Chains A and B, each alone.
Chain A
Amino acid sequence: MSTRITGPIRRLKEDILENTIFTLQDFMTCTKGLTYIIMGGILVFMPLFWKFLTDREDD
């Protein structure tokens, strides 16, 4: 059974993967918005990764 993606997720897929962005406003909103989300993810990931690297140092 194939599931049809609809709504905002479909729009995001079209915008990003199929590169159908028509205006600079769309481009900036889409790329900057996604970049900020990724940066947030990195900010959460890096301290956790540092903890993973160092939590056995006292052993």
Chain B
Amino acid sequence: MMKLHDLLLQKRPAILEKWFQAALETYPADTSRFLRREKDRFANPVGHAISYGMEGLLDQLFDGNDSAKVSSLLDDIVRIRAVQDFSPSQAIGFIFTLKRIIRDVLQSEIRSGNASAEELFALEARIDSMALASFDIYMGCRETIYELKATQVKNATLKLLERTNLLTEMPEHEPDSNDDSDGK
């Protein structure tokens, strides 16, 4: 039996390609063609974040254990999908797709008993942790959006109150207030 790790490294290009393709297919056909074709990271920030992020995530999944790095890579992708035209499940569904893709790519090895079920289970558990982390990031992004919206409204209201002289600011410190002996 081959170690799952070696199998995964061997099949890494196929896994990456299928995973990337699956993510692109969540966009309309004209868009996914562009996301794949344009390699410049500034002309195509979405395609770049997904492909670069997925490469890094596979590295971490197969060989690394840097949770900060995983978070940052996930953030690059999820932050984008959190404002695009996706429901929450669609926005982070790409993580779960990876499990199906790995099982597809390793199908014959799994059938022939060449891949350890235990190791596979452990790998899938790590993918699940990534999904959970994505959920946190997604919620964080949405909360930021709501906060930014709320702050804009609050600031606008405050400005109006100030302009109409309905508010006067509390002075930062009252001079001589410490010397004020008649009880403050």
A and B: bona fide binding partners: no
